[in-house]
């Protein structure tokens, strides 16, 4: 009998393996090496984020998920409603998790206090991401991200595919994240190796670090981690980035990664501790041989720190490198092309710019310092913040109308550069001590990651070259895996509308339309260009419904559609004018309406400092509101509006800073009168679902306590 069993296992080992496979259940704990039974597990996470769907805890474990898929938030339709944690790994050593898919969660995998965590061949795509409020016409300031604080895991409010805290020697390879907000966020995690991953087409951060040291990031693809961009209209980025490196993250190596078309390709900031004390920074990071092209803002932003930026490709960005307050840094052997400013450094000290190739940038190098800085700023108290002591040598400048733009900068060695085309310098008497004698440059060597079978993160980048291919939808960057109809002249006030039809190979046809007429073509093949004419009306209510048939596609929410299976897509544009009468009132600390609400009752006895009639509310103020020759840093906004609105379901989106109340038809629907409820430096936003039909009235009350202010209301039709 024993021989028969042994023979059976030899002939059919898969029978034994299948018998050992573990099915998943919500709330289970895994504390031994196991292979999971393949399948799709629809398991919602608890609302309590301390309780995941699965808990993994132990030492020396290998959990092979065998391509099993965890799907959460099954009762929700859109990714801004996703909630909970799929997997929590904690208090463990030497844990390997592989071949796992998890989607539909606020956080797919959260790891705390795990030494030697390995994640490989995992797909954490299509988890949480917000519904963006910015449009092609104008950005909404509530979409700005803020990663300045994370001591208390503040970053978790944004969700993440993977979030690691205190996870030293992590190994993350061959993993994929798309269609989310943040791919990989790391806190207090050192000596990790992260390579051969694809974290592209997310609306926030590809890889983010906070107090992380001596990690290696190589051969990763982090393209299109972006928001806050409308081609030819605005280029803000809103602090999205391929790489984010914050708050005392030192000695990390970033080698041969592709982070194109991201808000910033690479964004490094020393941290609040350095701002307050002048000590530390994000120092001695090596940023080498990466591609940071096509950033709406900066290809590389490195500030208040000592770094090496060498051998990178940086094309068509606003700034190729922004190096504010960089010191003792090297910017060498990089290729710049078609940037507005290739290298811009404010208050830089002891920096070297050498062996770079500059081509067709509007300005090649701009160096300067401000006339004055706040004497109360801790950094200025403890650091030398002059713009001084530069080496600019061995560079090649090609076809620049302005090569050097210098202001309030001292002690420059400018030598042995070559120039073609114009050779214009702009400097004045504030620039002193320029030395053109030859200079000996010292070579520095970096220890580069040793990776077996490295991927090629740059393969295929040429197909989407150029910022024109950043198309930000209401859910983040368009990923070219499904059809889209894209308005190419969104701010044109003429009646003509122009559209590009983009997507995989296939055919399209217009099924229905309203609000436009004279569509130039009703069917065709991808890609295509069509035009239409707006129907003149008091409100904008445009809809074009189309059908696609062709190659297999993946929809923006991650649904896979087979080849030949029809799929509907559309263009929608709606604007309902509201007749607003607005008035602004100044106040001081003794009449602060947040502390003294009774002050609001006295406004009818006080003349406003400014009045306005408008059909929309969409404001941003820096340093207060101006009325005549005066600037009022603290003010109240009172708005009363009315409109006749077609029957339907609507969403009213409100963005504000610092306090706001909103009434519709006399009913108080939004009461946010406590600015202290919002700890982060971002503008809050709330969305209110409404059924409207006919004549309606609106009232808004807004308070600004000083500093930056915004107030915006958008009414969107839900259909």
Q: For residue 12, is pLDDT > 70?
A: no
The torsion angles phi and psi of 329, rounded to 5 degrees, stand at -110, 155
Token pair recorded at residue 667: 């009913």
Mean pLDDT of 248-275: 97
The torsion angles phi and psi of 180, rounded to 5 degrees, stand at -125, -160
Q: Could you tell me which residues are beta bridge partners of residue 286?
A: 253, 308
Q: What is the reported pLDDT for 48?
A: 85
Q: What is the pLDDT of residues 145-155, one digit of tens each?
A: 999 999 999 99
DSSP string, 378-389: HHHHHS----EE
Q: Are 364 and 336 in contact (CB under 8 A)?
A: yes
Whole-Å CA distances, 48 to 18, 29, 85, 86, 379: 34, 17, 9, 12, 40
Token pair recorded at residue 234: 């605005």
Q: What is the reported pLDDT for 11?
A: 43
Rounded Cα distance, 52 and 119, in Å? 18
Rounded Cα distance, 607 and 305, in Å? 50
CATH 2.60.120.1560 in the chain: give the residue spans: 579-717
Mean pLDDT of 367-389: 91
Q: Are 95 and 116 in contact (CB under 8 A)?
A: yes
Which of the residue ranges 1-15, 128-142, 473-487 would you say has the lowest mean pLDDT? 1-15
Q: What is the CB neighbour count within 10 angstroms for residue 69?
A: 16
Using DSSP's 3-state secondary structure scheme, residue 328 falls into: coil
Q: Could you tell me which residues are beta bridge partners of residue 632?
A: 625
Mean pLDDT of 203-227: 98
- Check: CATH 1.10.150 for 480-575? no
Q: What is the reported pLDDT for 448?
A: 83
Q: Are 104 and 72 in contact (CB under 8 A)?
A: yes
Q: For residue 10, is pLDDT > 90?
A: no
- Under the banding of pLDDT at 50, 70 and 90, the label for residue 676 is confident
Q: What is the pLDDT of residues 548-605, one digit of tens each?
A: 999 999 999 999 999 999 999 999 999 999 999 999 999 988 889 999 988 898 898 8
Q: What is the reported pLDDT for 695?
A: 97
Quick one: which of 659, 664, 638, 651 has its CA closest to 705? 659
Mean pLDDT of 218-223: 98
Q: What is the reported pLDDT for 680?
A: 74
Using DSSP's 3-state secondary structure scheme, residue 463 falls into: helix
Mean pLDDT of 667-685: 88
Q: What is the pLDDT of residues 20-75, one digit of tens each?
A: 799 999 999 999 999 999 999 999 999 888 899 999 999 999 999 999 999 999 99
Q: Tell me whether residue 274 is exposed, middle or buried, using C-beta atoms within 10 angstroms of its C-beta: 0 to 12, 13 to 18, 19 or more.
A: buried
SS (H, E, C) 545-567: EEEEEECCEECCCCCEECCCCCE
Quick one: which of 419, 415, 424 has its CA closest to 354? 415
Q: Are 53 and 111 in contact (CB under 8 A)?
A: no
Q: What is the reported pLDDT for 2?
A: 43
Q: What is the reported pLDDT for 719?
A: 84
Quick one: which of 193, 252, 187, 250 has its CA closest to 220? 193
Q: For residue 6, is pLDDT > 70?
A: no
Mean pLDDT of 304-333: 97
pTM (2 d.p.): 0.94
Query: Quick one: what percent of the chain has pLDDT higher than 70?
Result: 97
Q: What is the C-alpha R_g of the chain?
A: 28
- Under the banding of pLDDT at 50, 70 and 90, the label for residue 254 is very high
Q: Could you tell me which residues are beta bridge partners of residue 195?
A: 173, 218
Token pair recorded at residue 278: 């002048």
Listed in sequence order, the residues at least 6 apart from 286 whose beta carbon sits closer than 8 Å to its beta carbon are 252, 253, 254, 255, 307, 308, 310, 446
| Strands 418-420 and 625-627, bridge-based pairing | unpaired
Mean pLDDT of 507-535: 97
Q: For residue 17, is pLDDT > 50?
A: no
Q: What is the CB neighbour count within 10 angstroms for residue 316?
A: 22
Token pair recorded at residue 684: 């809050």
Mean pLDDT of 377-390: 93
Pick the CATH number of 579-717 from 2.120.10.30, 2.60.40.3880, 2.60.40.10, 2.60.120.1560: 2.60.120.1560
Q: Tell me whether residue 67 is exposed, middle or buried, using C-beta atoms within 10 angstroms of its C-beta: 0 to 12, 13 to 18, 19 or more.
A: middle
Using DSSP's 3-state secondary structure scheme, residue 179 falls into: coil
Q: Are 347 and 385 in contact (CB under 8 A)?
A: yes
Q: Are 79 and 177 in contact (CB under 8 A)?
A: no
Listed in sequence order, the residues at least 6 apart from 535 whose beta carbon sits closer than 8 Å to its beta carbon are 515, 516, 517
Mean pLDDT of 497-515: 97
Mean pLDDT of 607-636: 94
Q: What is the reported pLDDT for 14?
A: 43
Token pair 């004055």 is at which residue?
A: 372
- Under the banding of pLDDT at 50, 70 and 90, the label for residue 282 is very high
Q: What is the pLDDT of residues 114-172, one digit of tens each?
A: 999 999 999 999 999 999 999 999 999 999 999 999 999 999 999 999 999 999 999 99
Mean pLDDT of 384-409: 96
Q: What is the reported pLDDT for 442?
A: 77
Q: What is the reported pLDDT for 468?
A: 97
Q: What is the reported pLDDT for 13?
A: 42
Q: What is the reported pLDDT for 49?
A: 83
Listed in sequence order, the residues at least 6 apart from 331 whose beta carbon sits closer than 8 Å to its beta carbon are 309, 310, 321, 323, 343, 351, 352, 353, 354, 356
CATH 2.60.40 in the chain: give the residue spans: 480-575
Helix boundaries (H) for 114-241: none
Q: For residue 359, is pLDDT > 60?
A: yes
Mean pLDDT of 667-680: 89
Q: What is the reported pLDDT for 604?
A: 86
The torsion angles phi and psi of 423, rounded to 5 degrees, stand at -135, 70
Mean pLDDT of 313-341: 98
Mean pLDDT of 673-690: 87
* CA angle, residues 122, 127, 130, in degrees to nearest 5: 150
Q: For residue 543, is pLDDT > 90?
A: yes
């Amino acid at each position: 009998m024993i021989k028969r069993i042994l023979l059976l296992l030899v002939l059919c080992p898969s029978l034994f393996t299948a018998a050992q496979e573990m099915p998943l259940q919500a709330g289970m704990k895994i504390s031994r090496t196991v292979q999971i039974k393949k399948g799709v597990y629809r398991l919602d996470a608890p609302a309590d984020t301390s309780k995941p769907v699965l808990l993994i805890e132990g030492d020396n474990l290998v959990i092979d998920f065998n391509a099993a898929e965890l799907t959460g938030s099954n009762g929700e339709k859109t990714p801004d409603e996703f909630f909970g944690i799929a997997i929590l790994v904690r208090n463990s050593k030497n844990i390997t998790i592989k071949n796992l898919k998890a989607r539909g969660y606020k956080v797919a995998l959260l790891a705390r206090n795990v030494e030697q965590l390995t994640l490989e061949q995992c797909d954490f795509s299509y988890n949480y991401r917000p519904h963006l409020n910015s449009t092609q016409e104008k950005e909404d300031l509530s979409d700005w991200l803020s990663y300045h604080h994370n001591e208390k895991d503040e970053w978790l409010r944004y969700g993440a595919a993977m979030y690691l805290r205190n996870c030293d020697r992590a190994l993350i390879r061959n993993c994929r994240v798309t269609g989310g907000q943040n791919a990989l966020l790391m806190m207090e995690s050192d000596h990790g190796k992260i390579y051969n991953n694809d974290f592209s087409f997310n609306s926030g951060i590809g890889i983010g670090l906070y107090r992380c040291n001596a990690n290696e990031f190589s051969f990763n693809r982090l393209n299109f981690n972006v928001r806050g961009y409308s081609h030819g209209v605005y280029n803000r980025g809103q602090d999205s980035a391929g790489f984010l490196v914050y708050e005392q993250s030192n000695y990390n190596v970033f080698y041969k990664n592709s982070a194109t078309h991201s808000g910033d390709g690479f964004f490094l900031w020393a941290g609040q501790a350095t701002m307050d004390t002048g000590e530390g920074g994000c120092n001695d990071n090596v940023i080498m041989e990466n591609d940071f092209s096509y950033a709406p803002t900066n290809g590389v932003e490195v500030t208040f720190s000592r770094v090496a930026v060498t051998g990178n490709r940086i094309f068509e960005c606003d700034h190729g490198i922004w190096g504010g307050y960089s010191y003792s840094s090297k910017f060498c052997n990089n290729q710049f092309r078609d940037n507005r400013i290739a290298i811009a450094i404010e208050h830089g000290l002891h920096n070297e710019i050498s062996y770079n190739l500059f081509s067709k940038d509007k300005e090649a190098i701009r160096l300067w310092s401000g006339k004055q800085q706040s004497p109360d700023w801790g950094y200025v108290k403890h650091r030398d913040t002059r713009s001084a002591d530069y080496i600019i040598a061995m560079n090649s400048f090609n076809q620049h109308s302005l090569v050097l733009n210098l202001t309030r900068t001292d002690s420059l060695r400018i030598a042995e550069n070559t120039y073609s085309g114009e050779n214009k310098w702009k400097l004045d008497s504030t620039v002193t001590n320029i030395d053109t004698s030859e200079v000996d440059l010292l070579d520095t060597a970096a220890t580069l990651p040793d990776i077996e079978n490295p991927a090629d993160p740059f393969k295929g980048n040429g197909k989407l070259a150029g910022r024109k291919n950043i198309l930000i939808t209401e859910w983040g960057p368009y990923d070219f895996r499904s059809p889209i109809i894209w308005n190419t002249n969104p701010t044109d006030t003429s009646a003509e509308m122009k559209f590009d039809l983009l997507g995989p190979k296939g055919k399209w046809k217009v099924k229905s339309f309203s609000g436009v007429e004279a569509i130039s073509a009703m069917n065709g093949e991808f890609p295509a260009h069509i035009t239409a004419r707006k129907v003149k009306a008091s409100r904008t209510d445009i809809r074009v419904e189309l059908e696609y048939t062709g190659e297999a596609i993946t929809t923006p929410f991650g649904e896979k559609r087979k080849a030949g299976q029809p799929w509907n897509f559309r263009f929608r544009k709606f604007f309902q004018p509201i007749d607003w009468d607005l008035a602004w009132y100044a106040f001081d600390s003794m009449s602060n309406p947040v502390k003294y609400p009774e002050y609001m009752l006295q406004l009818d006895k006080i003349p406003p400092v400014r009045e306005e009639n408008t059909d929309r509310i969409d404001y941003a103020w820096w340093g207060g509101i101006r009325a005549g020759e005066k600037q009022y840093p603290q003010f109240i906004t009172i708005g009363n509006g009315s409109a006749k609105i077609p029957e339907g379901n609507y969403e009213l989106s409100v963005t504000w800073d610092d306090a706001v109340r909103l009434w519709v038809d006399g009913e108080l629907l939004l009461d946010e009168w406590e600015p202290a409820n919002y700890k982060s430096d971002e503008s809050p936003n709330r969305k209110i679902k409404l059924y409207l039909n006919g004549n309606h009235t609106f009232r808004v009350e807004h308070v600004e306590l000083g500093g930056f202010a915004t107030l915006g209301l958008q009414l969107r039709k839900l259909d």
